[in-house]
Amino acid sequence: MSHGNWIKVPDAAAILDCSRVHIYKLIKRGKLRAYRVATRLRLRHEDVEKMITVVDPTDPSQK
């Protein structure tokens, strides 16, 4: 469950259609910013949304 602008790792994984492990790898690599709240990690919803890119299947440069 998310609270406002903050989401949990499983929620981010659902949005990006990937595993929780992949989200943790993105965080570790510095590709996705996470914030520790007590002992829990939280992510900003807008940061997760920025990870989504629109791909034009007719554009060969995007393959």
pLDDT tens for residues 2-56?
456 999 999 999 999 999 999 999 999 999 999 998 999 999 999 999 998 867 7
pLDDT at 19: 97
Q: In terms of Cα–Cα distance, which of 17, 26, 20 is closest to 8? A: 20
Domain ranges of the chain: 6-53
pLDDT at 42: 97
pLDDT at 38: 92
Kindly report the pTM of this predicted structure.
0.78
pLDDT at 63: 61
Q: Using DSSP, how many helices (H) and how many strands (E) does the chain show? A: 3, 3
- Residue 1: which pLDDT band, with cuts at 50, 70 and 90? very low
Q: Is 27 helix (H, G, I), strand (E, B) or coil?
A: helix
